[in-house]
Structure 1
Amino acid sequence: MSEAHVNSWYAATANYHDSFPALAGDERCDVCIVGGGYTGLSAAIHLRKRGYSVTVLEANHLGWGASGRNGGHVGTGQRADQDALERLVGKRHARALWDLGLEGVATVCELIKEFDIHCELKEGNLHTACTKKAAQELQSEVDHLQAVYDYEDIRYVDAGELKAMTSAQGFHGAMLDTASRHLHPLNYCLGLARAAQTLGVVMHEASRVTHYDERTHVHVHTENGQVECEHLLLACNGYLGKLESRVAGQIMPINNYVVATEPLSEETARRLIRDDTSMSDSRFVINYWKLSADNRLLFGGGESYTSRFPKDIPAFVRPHMLSIYPELADTRIEYGWGGTLAITLNRMPALGHVSPRVLYAHGYSGHGVPIATLAGKLVAESIAGTAERFDVMANVPTPRFPGGTLLRWPGLVAGMLYYSLRDRLG
């Protein structure tokens, strides 16, 4: 039995309402994919374009997880900045990762155009600095991207200009990236599902995978059936659970929360975000926000590290929102929801093989819309026998959380509390 979509503004404004039957009995395909989010659906689309037969197994509804609940930002680059990547893997490898990050955004836009997905695609992101030091770091990052990566779609915004662009409080400068995009994440995901369906992908909802085994072929089991396949992709992200213990220690599931206000007047909306970009800040526990097509402020803030969500999510997120927009003190919050994502220690996604026939892609650390979409494309290339670009991502070192899945939680909580304190103290 699958769970319904969370009561979010995204679910309330979904454009697509397709449903797919649970797996019943035995099926066979070239590639079986566990997980019906961006990674799985992108992989399914790109594999079908190459002629592979594909089956997607989703425990709940397609887009039920983080792919249908996130902030909808489609940022360029990788989740880790280029300076960090140059230190981690060297300049040549870092350049390849940068190019793939740009391709991730381009791939999202291409899929939206090709399959006419209605998902409120908009342009630009304004990333704000919470301290004077952070402002200096953003200025240096802009200079570095322009000089070393020939990236001209980015510029630094000083504090004076920033005040004309947003009424957001407490910021000392910003970085404007006009090549970034933002969108309605659930409609994008459901649009990918509709596209996959038109291409002939077999999809099953309410089909939680209990285990898999490798014999002559890979056999993927649910309560009511099994899929025999040549290749298996684990695209579960924060919901991997105990399905594959050999890679579970690479990621840590955490919860993040989003609220949607009542619709705002055009005047208020333009005051909050003059140019209708998405916005984010430089805190380690990041805040992120944007305007919907009907001028609601969609604001993400606050995290938790247990399996339980706060009882009152709007009350949990509201202080984060009001610290930036105190003018919204009397504005109603009409929706509040949470979701589980997976982070890695170095904030870079983990892609790889468990065995020659079993691949995985997860750990997008809040940068999932473009990079998960890209990961699905790279998985398809690898299965088709061209692994070079997949390996650019897979060869990034992926340290495991100390203590593995058993002890990763207390270590993460201690670390996040430290960074939260650092954020508050500036």
Structure 2
Amino acid sequence: MNLLHLNDAPGAYPPSLYAAQAGPQPDLPPLQGDQRTDVAVIGAGYTGLSAALHLARQGLSVTVLEAQRVGFGASGRNGGQIGSGQRQEVDWLEAQLGRDMARRLWDLAEEAKSLTRALAAESGVPVRFGIAHACRTDPEIAHARHMADHLARNYGYDKVRPLDREGLAQAIGSSAYAGGDVDMGAGHVQPLELGLGMSRLARDAGAVIHERSEVTGIDHAPHAGQDSTVRTAQGSLRARHVILAANGYLGGLDGHVAARVMPINNYIVATRPLGDDFPEILPDRFAVADTKFVVNYWRLDHERRLVFGGGETVTYRFPKDIFATVRPHLLSVYPQLEGVELTHAWGGTLAITMNRMPCFARPAANCLSASGFSGHGVAMATLAGRLMAEAVAGQAGRFDAMAAVPTRAFPGGALLRGPLLVAGMAWYGLRDRLGF
């Protein structure tokens, strides 16, 4: 099943609020004929664009091959949250990997936020600070308070403020949750604008980006120092290094990665501009994510539209009515928005791993891959590009630190991902509905 074409028109952005706000984008012509480059990057999302930018600034020739448009995938469709830490919290990392490794991974994640904010600023894309985490149960609240204290005491991170039920209700304008916290070191951004901005920076640095250049196969060099060949329908690209940055749209380009990284879909709606209506909703313009497995996440944009993501499906095909899929989740948090017009609805494909930690790998002698950011990719995917650029330049220590985090293959590997998605999403959707 080719997710590049299952739900979207060829060469077109989805009907998202983000694409409407960005307006028409200049076409970057497809790869034509046989060419050569130092580094071939497959995928023009945050990971690939960051890699291209950092490699081009090192003076290497870089060619990015994008099957659709820049930012077409999860990078241009997500909730825009620049979260702190890794996808797994530091207590999990300490238990699984030890305190020293947990600290190293925390520091990398802090660098990821700083890098993302810096690239946004360089691109002229505004970032707002503050992400609230909404807990459903008292044990979740107790854990959130414990983690805020643990981060302050052991990691020197004192930007998380616990909130009781009343405090969270005032912060988000909803009484649907039992409490939580707000992280003032985290932030949020218009995600497609960020991707388009990174594309401009990469091209200004000398990288070449080809849109509508779907990769059909890779002939990896048998040894480092030799060229690989990346093939498209229109041409081929010889390169000394290959970077896989396609995330949930990798398809069959690499079986090792595909067995460990499973695509899943998620859906977002946007309201009309709320103007002065509903002033209780996010008065400080925090973004929010809750503790469901199939996470609800939302924020107000610069037009005071509520951009709300949530809802699961058990097939890879988007539902015919995304509005109807997401609306119940939105109204479960903000019943006062009953009857308020929803102007945009779209779906997107991200990718998860078994342990929710990203999968960094070396699929071949001259090939690097990073994917499976599990809903925590705005910052970490951007950092992944920098780490792969460092590895290409011979400084692989930080890439190898991320690659040392084990990522097991899903049962049945890539072959059974479809049935596993059906079973898993049905199970976790039921758990969320029952409040587990």
What interval of TM-score do these two structures reach, taking the shorter chain for normalisation?
over 0.9
Aligned to 1:169: 175
Structure 1: distance between partners of 2:362 and 2:112: 21
Structure 1: distance between partners of 2:402 and 2:24: 32
Aligned to 1:319: 328
Residue range with higher mean Cα deviation, 200-209 or 160-169: 160-169
User: Secondary structure in 1 aligned to 2:78?
Assistant: coil
Asked if residue 66 in structure 1 is aligned to residue 78 in structure 2, the reply is no
Shift in Å at residue 275 of structure 1? 0.7
Do the aligned partners of 2:314 and 2:425 also contact (CA within 8 Å) in 1? no
Asked if residue 11 in structure 1 is aligned to residue 19 in structure 2, the reply is yes
Gaps of 5+ in 1: none
User: Secondary structure in 2 aligned to 1:60?
Assistant: coil
Aligned to 2:310: 301
Aligned to 2:363: 354
Deviations 1:230-274 (A, max 9, x none): 000010100011111122101111100000001102352x41101
The residue type paired with residue 304 of structure 2 is: N
Shift in Å at residue 15 of structure 1? 6.0
Structure 2: distance between partners of 1:163 and 1:175: 11
Aligned to 2:319: 310
1:260-299 mapped onto 2 (5 Å cutoff): 260-268=270-278, 270-299=279-308
Aligned to 2:227: 217
Give the root-mean-square deviation of aligned CA atoms.
1.3
2:53 corresponds to which of 28, 45, 55: 45
User: Secondary structure in 1 aligned to 2:349?
Assistant: strand
The residue type paired with residue 97 of structure 1 is: L
User: Secondary structure in 2 aligned to 1:272?
Assistant: coil
The residue type paired with residue 38 of structure 2 is: D
1:187-226 mapped onto 2 (5 Å cutoff): 187-215=193-221, 216-226=226-236
Aligned to 2:251: 241
Deviations 1:23-82 (A, max 9, x none): 111111110000010000000001111111100000001111111000011101011111
Do the aligned partners of 2:274 and 2:304 also contact (CA within 8 Å) in 1? yes
Aligned to 2:265: 255
2:161 corresponds to which of 155, 163, 169: 155
Residue range with higher mean Cα deviation, 40-49 or 410-419: 410-419
Structure 1: distance between partners of 2:218 and 2:114: 34
Structure 2: distance between partners of 1:237 and 1:260: 25
User: Secondary structure in 2 aligned to 1:266?
Assistant: coil
Do the aligned partners of 2:56 and 2:62 also contact (CA within 8 Å) in 1? yes
Q: 1:234 to 1:201 in 2, by over 3 A?
A: same
Asked if residue 83 in structure 1 is aligned to residue 91 in structure 2, the reply is yes
Structure 2: distance between partners of 1:305 and 1:415: 8
Q: Percent identity?
A: 48
The residue type paired with residue 366 of structure 1 is: G
2:111 corresponds to which of 103, 107, 120: 103
Aligned to 1:328: 337
Residue range with higher mean Cα deviation, 2-11 or 367-376: 2-11
Structure 2: distance between partners of 1:91 and 1:16: 48
1:230 corresponds to which of 215, 240, 245: 240
User: Secondary structure in 2 aligned to 1:127?
Assistant: strand
Shift in Å at residue 214 of structure 1? 2.5
Residue range with higher mean Cα deviation, 139-148 or 312-321: 139-148
Shift in Å at residue 174 of structure 1? 1.2
Structure 2: distance between partners of 1:4 and 1:408: 27
Structure 2: distance between partners of 1:247 and 1:39: 15
Aligned to 2:6: none
2:372 corresponds to which of 360, 363, 388: 363
Equivalent pairs, count: 423
Structure 2: distance between partners of 1:73 and 1:315: 24
Aligned to 1:117: 124
Shift in Å at residue 224 of structure 1? 1.0
2:135 corresponds to which of 125, 129, 135: 129
Shift in Å at residue 158 of structure 1? 1.1
User: Secondary structure in 1 aligned to 2:22?
Assistant: coil
User: Secondary structure in 1 aligned to 2:311?
Assistant: strand
Gaps of 5+ in 2: 1-8
Deviations 1:174-218 (A, max 9, x none): 111001010100010011111111111011001000001034410
The residue type paired with residue 153 of structure 1 is: K
User: Secondary structure in 2 aligned to 1:23?
Assistant: coil
Aligned to 1:397: 406
Aligned to 1:372: 381
1:413 corresponds to which of 402, 417, 422: 422
Structure 1: distance between partners of 2:207 and 2:266: 31
Do the aligned partners of 1:231 and 1:357 also contact (CA within 8 Å) in 2? yes
User: Secondary structure in 2 aligned to 1:181?
Assistant: strand
Do the aligned partners of 1:128 and 1:172 also contact (CA within 8 Å) in 2? yes
The residue type paired with residue 133 of structure 1 is: P
Do the aligned partners of 1:117 and 1:187 also contact (CA within 8 Å) in 2? no
Aligned to 2:4: none
Shift in Å at residue 16 of structure 1? 7.1
Shift in Å at residue 278 of structure 1? 0.4
